Structure 1
Amino acid sequence: MPPVSRSASQPELTALFASVQQHFLNVIVPLWQGPGWNADMALPYEALDAEHQPLPPQRYRAMACARQLYLFASLIGQVPGAEERAAALFRSLQRHFHDAEHGGWFYSVDAQGAPLDQRKDLYTHAFILFACAHYRDKVREPLVESVLNASLEVLAQRFATGDGLYEATLDRDWASLDSGPLQNPLMHLAEAFLATLSVRDDLDVQHALVELCTAMHVRFIDPQHGVLMEKPLGSVDNWFEPGHQFEWYYLLESSALLRGSKLHGSLQRAFAFTEQLGVDQQSGAVRAMLDLEPGGGVRDATQRIWAQAEYLRALTLRPDSEADVLRQLQALQQRSLHAGGWFECRDEHGEVSRRDMPSTTPYHLATCYRGLAEYLD
Structure 2
Amino acid sequence: MSAITPTPSAAGLREHFDRVVLPLWRGPGFNAALRLPFEALDASGAATLPAARYRAMACARQLFVFSQAGDANHCHTLFETLRHHFLDRAHGGWFYSVGADGAPLDTTKDLYTHAFVVFACAAYGQRFGVTEALDVARETSALIVDRFKARDGLLHAALDVSFANAASGLLQNPLMHLVEAWLVASEATGDTAFDTAITRLVEAVARTFLHAPTGCIAELPMGDAGNRLEPGHQFEWFWLASRAGARLGDSGLEEALGRAFVFAQQHGLDPATGGVAAALDESGQVIDATQRIWAQTEYLRAIATHGESAVRDQLAPQIARFAPRFLTAQGWVECRDAAGNVARADMPSTTPYHLLTAYMGIGV
Q: In structure 2, how many angstroms separate the alpha carbons of the residues matched to 1:199 and 1:156?
A: 19
Q: Indicate the SS of the match to 2:134.
A: helix
TM-score (norm 2): 0.95
Partner of residue 255 from structure 2, selected from 260, 265, 279? 265
- Within the alignment, does 1:68 sit opposite 2:68 as a pair? no
Runs of at least 5 residues in structure 1 that lack an aligned partner in the other structure: 1-9, 77-81
CA–CA distance in structure 2, aligned partners of residues 322 and 289 of structure 1: 24
| Poorly superposed stretches of 4+, deviation over 3 Å | 258-261
What CA distance in whole angstroms lies between the structure 2 residues aligned with 1:91 and 1:363? 19
Judge conservation of contact 2:218–2:229 (CA < 8 Å) in 1.
yes
TM-score by length of 1: 0.91
Is 1:298 matched with 2:286?
yes
Structure 2 residue matching 1:69: 3-state secondary structure: helix
| In the alignment, structure 1 residue 256 sits paired with structure 2 residue 250 | no
Distance 1:105 1:254 in 2: 27
The aligned residue for residue 310 of structure 1 is 298
1:348 aligned residue: 338
In structure 1, C-alpha distance between the alignment counterparts of 2:346 and 2:223, rounded to whole Å: 36
Alignment of 1:1-377 (within 5 A): 14-52=7-45, 53-76=47-70, 82-161=71-150, 163-177=152-166, 179-258=168-247, 261-292=251-282, 297-318=285-306, 319-320=308-309, 321-373=311-363
Separation (CA, whole Å) in 2 of partners of 1:183 and 1:31: 31
In the TM superposition, residue 28 of structure 1 has moved relative to its aligned partner by 0.4
Cα RMSD (Å): 1.6
Cα distance, 1:149 vs structure 2: 1.8
Q: Note if contact 2:203-2:248 (Cα within 8 Å) is conserved in structure 1.
A: no
Equivalenced residue count is: 357
Q: Distance in 2 between matches of 1:54 and 1:285?
A: 28
Give secondary structure in 1 for the equivalent of 2:156: coil
Given that 1:122 and 1:185 are in contact with CA atoms closer than 8 Å, whether structure 2 keeps it comes out as yes
**Which segment drifts farther, 273-282 or 139-148?**
139-148
Whether contact under 8 Å (2:157, 2:169) holds in the other structure is: yes
Identity %: 47
Distance 1:150 1:259 in 2: 24
Structure showing greater relative contact order (alpha-carbon pairs closer than 8 Å, 6 or more residues apart)? 2
**Does the CA-based 8 Å contact 2:109-2:158 persist in structure 1?**
yes
Post-superposition Cα deviations, 1:207-252, rounded to whole Å, max 9, x if no partner, equal: 1100111111110011222211100011111111000010010010
- Asked if structure 1 preserves the Cα contact closer than 8 Å seen for 2:7 and 2:316, the reply is no
Q: Do 2:56 and 2:96's aligned partners in 1 also have CA atoms closer than 8 Å?
A: yes
CA displacement at 1:30 relative to structure 2: 0.1
